[in-house]
Every structure is written in structure tokens, then in C-alpha cells.
Amino acid sequence: MANDTTDARPPDGLKANAIGFVDALVIGLNATSPAYSLAAVIGPIVALVGIYAPGVLVASFVPMLLIASAFYYLNKVDQDCGTTFSWVTRAMGPWAGWLGGWAITMTGVLVVGSLADVAVSFALLAFGLDSWVDNDFVRQLLAVLLILVMTAVCVIGTEVSAKVQNVLILAQVVCLLAFVVVALYRVYAGTSTFDSVEPSIGWLNPFGAGGATLTGALLLGVFIYWGWESAVNLTEEVEDSATAPGKAGVWSTVILLVTYVSVGFAVVAYAGTTFLAENADEEEFIFALLAGKVMDGWDWVVLLAVSTSALASTQTTIIPASRTALSMARRQALPAHFAHIHPRFRTPDVSTWWVAGIAIAWYLVLNQISTNALFDSLTALSLLIAFYYALTGVACAVYYRRHLTESVRYFVLIGLGPLVGAGLLAWLLVESVSDMSDPANSYTGASWLGVGPPLVIGIGIAAAGVVLMVLWRLKSPAFWSERAGVADPDLVHGVPGKES
């Protein structure tokens, strides 16, 4: 184990100080795809808890903030672009670390194609090309081309990626803000075409609808925050790498909370719970249904918001997957060619193109089975996300275990908080498995091996990871000689020190 990873990367590594704090923050925000994510879950959440949907969005924020604290403090001692992979390896050993890295990499592979599909679909709807959306060949071709373009932007450079993201987040926020303002104005003016309801502070109570429905709603709500850690995956390329990426991750979750709750209030108030519940199966297209009613001829504004949201996330989701693969290859946990750095752009070109290639193949193959099969694969994401977030929370407490009693701040922020966050996510993981075991809860509606397709896909990916890990352990055992350690007091206080 290296004593100080801050300067451990080779001279031909990623480009240091390529972007600043604001750029990292924007990338963290865009990676969550706010407009698309909220559009996808607001209907199903309302179907479960009614007007208390904003409260569920607040409750869902809690475990994310606690895990963001773990990311912040672990990044302070190890500025490695592999984040969870590197930190869990350092705290809990190579076996757990490898599985954490595998989970991060595969989440990118599973979701990139779907994000590109949504970006293309909503852009076509915004320009009135509805018939193109219904043409599977055209839509899928454009989605693949979009993935290739976004991958090329990632390879060309982090600075270019950041500039693209800045434009996309600005467009997205402006469009969402316009939607919120107009929707709330129409509610209070009494011009809504639906059974509108005036907002109430009581909507922020997540327990208003009862326990059983709250569990189901949290399963949906907690994962719309996923992706903020992309800012931390850029730690080797961000100025002030020991603190700025972690702060960007924390602030991303806070800004997302404000965004989600604001839009949640506007949507529930304008459309009412009946319409949203009846159209819960429309998922991300709920905004397409509402846009024309709310914006009165300016529906393209909302459609463009969802499109830019998915477009931005198509790019930023590639970042953590490719950087994690790079980090794993540098530590000999994956084949060496995944660690290749482009000599001019100083980005992980090989791992980036591999992520894109596998994502395209996954997207096309599952679409040939059925669109529902692709949606089921996205549902399986929750298992992988909950696993590596929870693993990171535990790793933080384990790594800092000798320092938890030094102060109340340490005990809460690097011990209790991350453990509570990990516990909540572990609970949601168990609930997700139970929910996915019923085929009726899947999009496909069919039974695969006696359970729901999402559970089969999730377990299948995990099992494939275990098999690959064992095979690579037999072929190249060097990585598995690493040993877990604990934080040195100097490291805890921000001064380079040694592991013990």
C-alpha cells in the first residue's frame, strides 16, 4: 500500500488541475440527470404516497448526504479516481474493494444506453419529430451515435467535458425553473386544467401516508440522487484535489434536494395526485404529458430540459465507470491495457471506449429482447448502487475507527453518519431484493428462473463479477497481496502521514 497516494500516480497520469470546484460540482449534478430522474419517479411515488411525495424526496436525501460525508473524508486521504474501489481496498482489503469497483463500472454500462435513448427521444419530441421516436431503428441509431459523440468528448479532455456540462446544466436549470414558476402561478391563478391542489408545508412529512407505502416510495426516491459522486471520480483532475471533489459531491446532493423538492411541489400542485397516479406507468414521459398543459405552446422547454438532462448524464455516467476501470488496472486488479492514458489528452481512452462499447452492446441486445427488458435492467441498478454506496459508508468508519472518539465531529461525520447511511441503504437493498423477486413488479411481467427479471439481472451481474474476480486472482495475484490499514492521525487532520 502506498504511503501517500496524492503523488503516487505516474508522470503520464491524468491531467492534474484540469478543472475547478464549480466544474466538478456541475458534473456531479449532471450525472444524476435531475430532470429525467425526477420525471421517471414522480408518478410512481405519488401513486404510493400521494401529496407527501416532496417529503419522500427529502427523506431519500438523508442516506445520500451521509454517504457523501464518507466520500468527502475518504477522498481527503486518498485522491484516487477509483474512489470506492481504492478506499474499500485500503480499509477492508482487495476482495471487497474489487467487488465495489465492479459495481461502479457495471452501473455505467447498464444505464448509458437508456440515457442516450431518452435524450434522443425528448429532443425529437421537442422538435416535433414524434414519428421518429416511434421508429425503433432511427431512435436506436441516433442513441448509439450520441453515445459515441459523448464518449469522444470524454476522451478529448476533461476541460471540454466540463464546458459541455456547464452549458447543459444551465439549459436544464432554466427550463425546470420556468416550468416550476409557470405551474405554481397557474395553481394560484386557478387556471390549471387538472384538479390542482395548493401546496402545503405538510407535504414535507414523509410519514404522512404510512409505513408500507413509504418503504416503496423510498426505494424509488433514494436512487434519483445517484450519480453525484462523479465529481469525486475526477479527483485527480480537479484543483485542490484533497477537498474540492468531496465538497462538490456534498453540495451536489444539497442542490439536488432543493431542485427535486421544488419541482415535486410544482408537479403535485398543478396536476394533482389522481392524474399522476393514473399515469405512473408513463414514467419519464409524464413531463411530456404535462408540458403542453403547463407551458401552453412552450412545451418544448420542458421536453428540452429532460433531453439535456439525459444528454448530460450520458456523458458524466461514463466518467466514474472509466476512471474506476483505470484505477483497477493501475493496481493490477484488471488487465493493464485499461490503464492506458491518451498521450495528448491525458484521459483514460481505452477504458472509456470499452465502457461505451459494452454499454452500446447491452442497449442494443436488450432492446432486441424488448424495451421492457431494458427497463428491467435499469431496475436492477438499485442493487448495485445500494451495494457500493453502503460499502463506502462502512469503509469510512472502518478506516477511521481509531479516531472516532477524538471528537464529536469525527464520531458523527466519519463514524456514525456513514454507518447509518450504509445501514439505510442495506435495508433498501434487502427491500429491493424482496420487491424484485415478484415477477409482477417487473416491466416484463414474466418470470425468469422463478423470480422477476430485475433480480435475475442484478444477481447475474454480481455473480459474473465474482467469477471474473476469482479468475483474475488466479491469473494475476499481485493485487491481492495488498493489506487493509487504518488512518494515521496525521492523515485524519489533513497532514500527509503513514498508514498503520
Task: Report residue 301's pLDDT band, with 50, 70 and 90 as the boundaries.
Answer: confident
What number is the average pLDDT over the span 4-8?
42
Q: Quick check: is 4 in a domain?
A: no
Q: Quick check: is 402 in a domain?
A: yes
Q: Quick check: is 248 in a domain?
A: yes
Q: Quick check: is 15 in a domain?
A: no
User: How many domains is the chain partitioned into structurally?
Assistant: 1
What number is the average pLDDT over the span 298-311?
80
| Per-residue confidence (pLDDT) for residue 284, from 0 to 100 | 61
Grid coordinates of 276: 399522476
| Per-residue confidence (pLDDT) for residue 497, from 0 to 100 | 36
Task: Report residue 1's pLDDT band, with 50, 70 and 90 as the boundaries.
Answer: very low
Q: Quick check: is 126 in a domain?
A: yes
Handedness of CA 474, 479, 482, 486 (dihedral sign): negative
DSSP secondary structure, 228-282, as one string? TTHHHHTGGGBSSTTTHHHHHHHHHHHHHHHHHHHHHHHHHHHHHHHHHHHTGGG
| Per-residue confidence (pLDDT) for residue 90, from 0 to 100 | 93
CATH number at residue 195: 1.20.1740.10
Which residues are CB-contacts of 81 (< 8 A; sequence separation ≥ 6)? 14, 233, 234, 235, 236, 237, 323, 324, 326, 327
What number is the average pLDDT over the span 471-491?
79
Cα–Cα distance measured from residue 382 to residue 396, given in angstroms and rounded to the nearest whole number: 21
Cα–Cα distance measured from residue 181 to residue 300, given in angstroms and rounded to the nearest whole number: 16
This prediction has a pTM of 0.88
pLDDT 10s digits, 176-218: 788 888 889 989 988 888 888 899 999 999 888 776 677 778 8
| Per-residue confidence (pLDDT) for residue 212, from 0 to 100 | 64
- 415 vs 51, 252, 299, 404, 407, CA distance in Å? 35, 22, 47, 6, 11
Residue type, 272: G
Share of the chain above pLDDT 90, in %: 46
Q: Quick check: is 3 in a domain?
A: no
- 346 vs 49, 163, 165, 404, 428, CA distance in Å? 48, 17, 19, 38, 39
Share of the chain above pLDDT 70, in %: 91
Three-state DSSP state, 19 = strand
| Per-residue confidence (pLDDT) for residue 223, from 0 to 100 | 79
Mean pLDDT in the chain? 86
Q: Quick check: is 97 in a domain?
A: yes
Domain with 48 in it: 21-477
Cβ pair 54, 194 in contact under 8 A: no
Q: Quick check: is 500 in a domain?
A: no
Q: Which residues of 175-185 are buried (b: 16+ CB within 10 A; e: fewer)?
A: bbebbbebbbe
Task: Give yes or no for residue 2 having a pLDDT over 50.
Answer: no
* Owner of C-alpha cell 431512435: 139
First vs last C-alpha separation in the chain: 10
Strand partners, 19: 238
